[in-house]
């Protein structure tokens, strides 16, 4: 409010005599400039609109605003000044009325008045002596609005008052009333300089929730009443103070000022007495501290020469008692002081009335004393118990001091300060571990006027860590020169690990000695440190710093600049040094380092390493890096560089040379079995802040190997590369590129900077990658680069290779491959893929005519790919495509297929339809089968006709449906179980040769992890075979027919239907049994499940032969009615008699028949006998008459075979076969009954 009246009064007093010389046109400019000059401490900008009548008796302003850096904070609207102009001639400013319709104080202004030394000076109260007297009859504002940011809510007031000031006298009457009737402030005050009579009557009355209670944040925002009154001269003045809340007095007292004669001078005696119950005005947490009665009493005297005496000072409340006295001489030095007090009772927790986190103590005492009349010694002690804060607590804390105070010139003071913190508890675990539970220390100080402040000793101790030091600080006028020594000892750095966030450990000791100036910035310091078992928690660094080491630093700064005389770090494994200088004209720095073994930092490295370099700078010249030389692991790096920081475009240039004698030493680092030696040279320069760059590179490699098989084939041990190019502001330039290896040559370049780049590439032998296509591949072309980063490359290319390989490519590469516009045509031998698809194989040629326009992805490709007379072998499926012909047409993110394949075993497959080229590759394919012969070469052979549709994502989830018809189908039951095999679970192959692993991979014996299993395919296939499904083998001969539907998915096939017996029989040693039951069903694989039953009568026994199981391994069993053992059933089936009525040969014969049916004919007893006596054939059978017949055969020579037959009736016969050739055989025979015969036979095996 005082600032507001100052602004209004300033407007008036500014209308002095110079205004009379102004014209009306100057009104606005002069006033605005005056206000801006006088309000610079409160606001930064004043704006006035609608200003009129500055030189008339009525001046008006439509609006005046004052703003600071955050915007407008004060607005005055419709301001009017009604005044008497002629009074200025008499030296008076007479204002009849100064009014404003509306004043808005939106918020508090930002105070930006700078601090100045003059603010430290106290000045006596006097009214300003103005060049004119001011008399304002009425000051009023209809509405004075205080914004919500000030009080938390917007409040509207009415202002009415008067003001007079002049001739050393002043008076003011102000009445501010809230428009809502909830409060008012009245002020009636006057002062006369001549009589020093001050009349003051200030009254504040506010309802609950008023402005004052809100600003003071009083609990419950009570109603307040404040009165301050007193009328008297200042040589004997008393002011009465009264404060009440909710109608109850809270604080009463007096403030007195009077003159007192002493030592023939006039001194001012002052006093204050205040007391009351403040608890209703204090937050509930603080009330126990103050209690129901608080009191302040103080009396003192201020001499005219500046000497001060506070004879008595007392402050009391429920939990505090403080008393003391102070006497200062005219120079401000103590003659006597005393302060005694306590806080709390030492047992009960007391919350201190301090804002912020809650602070409690149990007790505190203070005791300080000095009396020059008794000597020069002073003492002070502060004790604290039970200190608690949410994040820290102390059991005890003491601070004590003692010393001497010299009051005669030269004056001075000595002090020994000691502190001790005990029982410390810190909630932050990291800080708690670092600080510990006990901290102590001392400081010894000595100060004499006109001399430096001397710190004779400083010691801080926390656990085993200790900081010690001494020094001195000189006068401010000299720039605060300082000097001294500090030593830090930390025998266990691990306690600081959590605080630093690093797993540090070890011991360290550091001593710093030096001098300098706090204000001048000069220094001369040395630092010496020792470490042992040092660690920072970085695996690559810790082994380098673990051994005992030292650090030495010497540096200084003076008017000639900064000098680093010495920086040295050294231990058993590393030594590093640096020295240099820097001033306003030049600078230089030298570095050197050596490491005994790189393996300490990284086990993938080995051997010592050395590094040295020099950096220099000069005003107007370059920053240079010279002599950078590094040697490690058989490698030497050397580099030089320069930078011109003051030149336009910040030009830079440099050269790097590397000589690597043995790449194998880097194998562990790169993870590849490198071999050979390599020399590298790179030189370059740049300007325009890196926008214009030139690079020259040369690489020479010898006996190279990378461990990447295809790359090693190209390099073949040697590589030579030279390249030169540049990046300009508007283009990329490729001057030359020359690459040469024993197998590959590449040359590229352009004759001038703006010309296209011509290139030639030759691969000497494509057979390195495709063994069936030995011969060179050559390519020539041209590339035109445009754009500052070659954003567009127009390329043409022509290539030829063995096997009819051709390629013609032309178009644009945009944004470094982000978008392509290329056309390509030519031919490609498909056999190039054989090395990637083994054991499958393909032979043929693909002709393509393609274009890609867009991102490098399949959806951007259009054109055609065609082939004819292509042959494909798929050994795993037993299928061979004799000829494959067709076309794939790409476009609109899909490929339209139309391919026909003629199969080697017969039949034809045709595939037509589109396939999407976006992820999922959704297809809508029609597959037509025409007389397709399917066989696994072991169990089944069939001929299939029909159509199949594949709809949906081909990567998983598509639907496979259609109808198939089977023509003649043969299912062969194997006669044996095949070769036995041995499974070795958990077999691990160690040091497996690459060829062996490749063989196992092709055989499917290596399981590899896949990114994710594809979704299964839905099935809806109908298979129709009304007849001609033949099942033969092991004595079976049956025909079946039926219909089958395959539903479900490829992961869980759900067959519905079966093939049922039409007719069939089982033959066993001349016994032919007619089948009565037969069925074939599918159970989720291409190996069908069989069940056949044949029934016959053997005398009085009904016999069944049952063949059941998978076609690849069925089981045979025998049943009878009545139930008999299987051996008995077989004997009756074959011989018509029981086991007890057959001969030994018949028993062997029966076992052979059982073996034939079960597929275990290798266990044939007769066969074993035949082998034992050296015969090619031996058989025992039963004649039609029930007799026994034996036949035996053997090869007399490679082309002659003879066979003799004899039965139990004495009949004998001999047969003779003579092979005239592989196809013609002469056969003849004769018997003992006189019959004979001869014939010529022609045979051909297919």
> pTM above the 0.75 mark?
no
Q: What is the dihedral angle through the alpha carbons of 216, 219, 222, 228, rounded to the nearest 10 degrees?
A: -40
Per-residue pLDDT tens over the stretch 871-911: 998 887 778 899 999 999 998 888 999 999 999 888 999 99
Whether the CA torsion 978, 984, 985, 989 is positive or negative: it is negative
Residues 209/203, Cβ–Cβ less than 8 Å? no
* Cα–Cα nearest to 368, from 357, 356, 382, 358: 382
HSE (side-chain half, CA atoms, 13 Å) at 660 = 19
Contacts of 388 (CB under 8 A, 6+ apart): 349, 359, 360, 361
Q: Are strands 265-276 and 294-302 parallel, antiparallel or unpaired?
A: antiparallel
CB burial of 622-645 (b: ≥16 within 10 Å; e: otherwise) equals bbbbeebebbbbbbebebbbbbbe
pLDDT of the residue at 1151: 65
SS3 sequence of 931-985: EEEEECCCCEEEEEEEEEEEEEECCCCCEEEEEEEEEEEEEECCCCCCCCCCCCC
pLDDT of the residue at 125: 44
Q: Which phi-psi region, left, alpha or beta, contains residue 770 (left: φ > 0; alpha: ψ -120 to 50)? A: beta
Q: How far apart are CA 14 and CA 3, in angstroms?
A: 16
Alpha helices in 183-338 (DSSP H): 211-216, 287-290
Label residue 227 exposed, middle or buried (CB < 10 Å: 0-12, 13-18, 19+).
Answer: middle
Q: How far apart are CA 782 and CA 792, in angstroms?
A: 13
pLDDT of the residue at 1193: 78
Residues 383/365, Cβ–Cβ less than 8 Å? yes
SS3 697: strand
Paired with 916 in beta bridges are: 894
pLDDT of the residue at 608: 94
* Cα–Cα nearest to 616, from 634, 597, 642: 642
SS3 44: coil
Q: How far apart are CA 520 and CA 476, in angstroms?
A: 11
* Cα–Cα nearest to 925, from 934, 942, 912: 912
Residues 790/817, Cβ–Cβ less than 8 Å? no
Domain locations along the chain: 2-112+127-181, 1164-1246
Long-range contacts of 659-668 (CB under 8 A, 24+ apart): 659/635, 660/634, 660/635, 661/634, 661/635, 662/633, 662/634, 663/704, 665/606, 665/607, 665/633, 665/634, 665/635, 666/633, 668/603, 668/604, 668/605
pLDDT of the residue at 54: 63
Q: How far apart are CA 680 and CA 265, in angstroms?
A: 96
Whether the CA torsion 64, 66, 70, 73 is positive or negative: it is negative
Q: Are strands 92-105 and 133-146 parallel, antiparallel or unpaired?
A: parallel
Intervals of the chain under pLDDT 70? 1-44, 54-55, 85-93, 111-134, 151, 261-265, 476-477, 974-986, 1001-1013, 1034, 1068-1071, 1083-1087, 1136, 1141-1188, 1198, 1208, 1244-1246
Tell whether omega for the bond before 307 is within 30 degrees of 0, i.e. cis: no
Q: How far apart are CA 1021 and CA 1046, in angstroms?
A: 5
Alpha helices in 586-738 (DSSP H): 667-670, 709-715
∠ CA 584-586-591 to the nearest 5 degrees? 125
Paired with 1188 in beta bridges are: 1182
Tell whether omega for the bond before 839 is within 30 degrees of 0, i.e. cis: yes
Strand residue runs (E) in 4-91? 45-52, 58-68, 71-84
pLDDT of the residue at 358: 92
Paired with 1033 in beta bridges are: 1036
């Amino acid at each position: 409010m005082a600032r507001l009246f100052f602004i209004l009064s300033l407007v008036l007093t500014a209308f002095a005599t110079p205004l009379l010389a102004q014209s009306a046109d100057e009104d606005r400019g002069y006033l605005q400039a005056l206000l801006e000059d006088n309000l610079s401490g409160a606001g930064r900008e004043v704006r006035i609109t609608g200003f009129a009548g500055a030189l008339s008796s009525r001046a008006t302003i439509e609006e005046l605003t004052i703003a600071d850096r955050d915007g407008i904070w004060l607005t005055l609207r419709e301001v009017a000044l009604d005044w008497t102009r002629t009074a200025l001639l008499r030296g008076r400013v007479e204002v009849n009325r100064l009014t404003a319709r509306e004043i808005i104080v939106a918020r508090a202004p930002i105070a930006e008045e700078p601090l100045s030394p003059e603010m430290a000076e106290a000045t006596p109260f006097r009214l300003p002596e103005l060049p004119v007297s001011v008399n304002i009859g009425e000051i009023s504002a209809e509405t004075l609005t205080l914004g919500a940011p000030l009080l938390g809510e917007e409040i509207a007031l009415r202002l009415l008052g008067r003001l007079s000031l002049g001739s050393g006298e002043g008076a003011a009457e102000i009445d501010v009333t809230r428009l809502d009737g909830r409060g008012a402030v009245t002020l009636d005050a006057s002062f006369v300089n001549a009589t020093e009579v001050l009349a003051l009557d200030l009254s504040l009355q506010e309802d609950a929730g008023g402005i004052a209670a809100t600003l003071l944040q009083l609990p419950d925002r009570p109603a307040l009443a404040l009165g301050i009154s007193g009328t008297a001269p200042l040589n004997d003045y008393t002011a009465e103070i009264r404060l009440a809340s909710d109608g109850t007095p809270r604080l009463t007292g007096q403030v007195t000022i009077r003159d007192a004669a002493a030592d023939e001078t006039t001194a001012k005696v002052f006093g204050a007495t205040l007391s009351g119950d403040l608890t209703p005005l204090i937050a509930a947490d603080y009330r126990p501290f103050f209690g129901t009665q608080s009191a302040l009493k103080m009396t003192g005297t201020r001499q005219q020469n500046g000497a001060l005496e506070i004879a008595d000072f007392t402050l009391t409340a429920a939990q505090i008692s403080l008393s003391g006295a102070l006497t200062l001489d005219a120079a401000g030095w103590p003659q006597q002081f005393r302060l005694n007090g306590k806080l709390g009772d030492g047992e009960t927790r007391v919350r201190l009335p301090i804002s912020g986190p809650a602070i409690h103590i149990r007790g505190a005492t203070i005791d300080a004393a000095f009396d020059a009349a008794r000597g020069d010694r002073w003492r002070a002690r502060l004790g604290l118990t039970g200190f608690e804060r949410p994040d820290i607590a102390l059991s005890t804390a003491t601070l004590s001091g003692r010393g001497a105070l010299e009051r005669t010139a030269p004056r001075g003071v000595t002090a020994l300060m000691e502190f001790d913190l005990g029982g410390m508890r810190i909630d932050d675990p990291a800080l708690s571990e670092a600080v510990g539970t006990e901290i102590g220390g001392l400081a010894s100080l000595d100060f004499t006027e006109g001399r430096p402040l001397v710190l004779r000793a400083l010691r801080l101790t926390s656990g085993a860590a200790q900081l010690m030091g001494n020094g001195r600080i000189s006068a401010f006028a000299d720039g605060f020169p300082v000097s001294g020594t500090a030593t830090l000892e930390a025998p266990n750095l691990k306690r600081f690990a959590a605080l630093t966030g690093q797993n540090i450990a070890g011991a360290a000791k550091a001593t710093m000695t030096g001098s300098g100036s706090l204000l001048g910035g000069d220094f001369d310091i040395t630092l010496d440190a020792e470490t042992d078992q040092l660690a920072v928690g970085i695996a690559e660094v810790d082994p380098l710093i673990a051994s005992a080491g030292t650090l030495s630093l010497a540096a200084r700064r003076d008017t000639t600049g900064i000098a680093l005389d010495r920086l040295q770090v050294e231990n058993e494994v590393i030594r590093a040094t640096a020295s240099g200088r820097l001033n306003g004209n030049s600078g230089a720095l030298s570095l050197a380092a050596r490491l005994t073994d790189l393996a300490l930092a990284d086990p993938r490295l080995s051997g010592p390493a050395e590094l040295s370099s020099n950096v220099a700078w000069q005003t107007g010249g370059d920053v240079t890096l010279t002599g950078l030389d590094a040697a490690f692991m058989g490698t030497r790096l050397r580099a030089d560089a320069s930078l011109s920081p003051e030149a336009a475009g910040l030009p830079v240039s440099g050269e790097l040379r590397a000589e690597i004698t043995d790449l194998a030493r880097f194998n562990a680092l790169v993870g590849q079995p490198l071999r050979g030696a390599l020399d590298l040279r790179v030189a370059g320069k740049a300007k325009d802040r890196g926008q214009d760059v030139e690079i020259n590179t040369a690489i020479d490699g010898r006996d190279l190997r990378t461990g990447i098989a295809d790359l090693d084939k190209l390099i073949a041990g040697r590589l030579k590369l030279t390249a030169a190019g540049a990046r300009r502001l508007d283009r990329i330039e490729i001057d030359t590129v020359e690459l040469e290896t024993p197998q590959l040559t590449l040359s590229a370049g352009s004759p001038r900077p703006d010309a296209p780049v011509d290139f030639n590439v030759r691969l000497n032998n494509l057979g390195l990658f495709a063994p069936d296509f030995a011969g060179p591949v050559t390519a020539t072309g041209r590339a035109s680069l445009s754009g500052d980063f070659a954003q567009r490359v127009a390329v043409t290319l022509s290539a030829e290779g063995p096997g009819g390989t051709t390629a013609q490519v032309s178009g644009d590469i945009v944004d470094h491959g982000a978008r392509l516009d290329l056309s390509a045509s030519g031919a490609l031998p498909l056999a190039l893929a054989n090395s990637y698809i083994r054991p499958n194989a393909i032979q043929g040629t693909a002709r393509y005519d393609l274009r890609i326009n867009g991102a490098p992805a399949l959806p951007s490709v259009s054109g055609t790919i065609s082939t004819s007379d292509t042959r494909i072998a798929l050994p795993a499926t037993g299928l061979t495509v004799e000829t494959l012909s067709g076309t794939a047409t790409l476009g609109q993110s899909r490929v339209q297929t139309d391919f026909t394949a003629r199969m080697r075993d017969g039949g034809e497959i045709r595939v037509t339809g589109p396939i999407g080229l976006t992820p999922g590759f959704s297809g809508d394919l029609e597959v037509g089968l025409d007389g397709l012969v399917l066989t696994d070469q072991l169990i089944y052979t069939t001929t299939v006709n029909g159509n199949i549709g594949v709809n949906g994502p081909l990567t998983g989830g598509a639907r496979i449906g259609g109808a198939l018809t089977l023509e003649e189908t043969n299912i062969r039951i194997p006669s044996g179980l095949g070769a036995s095999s041995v499974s070795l679970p958990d077999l691990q192959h160690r040091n497996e040769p690459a060829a062996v692993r490749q063989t196992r991979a092709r055989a499917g014996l290596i399981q590899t992890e896949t990114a994710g299993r594809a979704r299964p395919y839905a099935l809806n296939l109908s298979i129709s075979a009304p007849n001609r499904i033949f099942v033969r083998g092991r004595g079976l001969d049956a025909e079946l027919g039926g219909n089958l539907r395959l539903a479900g998915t490829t992961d869980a096939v759900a067959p519905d239907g079966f093939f049922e017996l039409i007719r069939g029989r089982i033959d066993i040693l001349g016994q032919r049994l007619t089948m009565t039951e037969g069925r074939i069903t599918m159970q989720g694989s291409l190996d069908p499940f069989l069940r056949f039953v044949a029934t016959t009568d053997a005398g009085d026994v009904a016999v069944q032969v049952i063949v059941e199981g998978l076609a690849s391994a069925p089981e045979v069993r025998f049943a009878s009615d009545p139930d008999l053992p299987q051996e008995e059933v077989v004997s009756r089936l074959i011989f018509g008699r029981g086991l007890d009525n057959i001969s030994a040969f018949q028993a062997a014969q029966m076992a052979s028949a059982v073996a034939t049916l079960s597929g275990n004919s290798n266990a044939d007893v007769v066969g074993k006998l035949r082998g034992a006596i050296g015969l090619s054939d031996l058989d025992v059978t039963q004649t039609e008459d029930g007799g026994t017949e034996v036949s035996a055969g053997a090869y007399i020579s490679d082309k002659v075979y003879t066979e003799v037959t004899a039965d139990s009736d004495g009949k004998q016969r001999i047969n003779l076969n003579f092979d005239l050739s592989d196809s013609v055989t002469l056969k003849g025979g004769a018997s003992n009954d006189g019959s004979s015969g001869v014939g010529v036979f022609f045979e051909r095996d297919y």
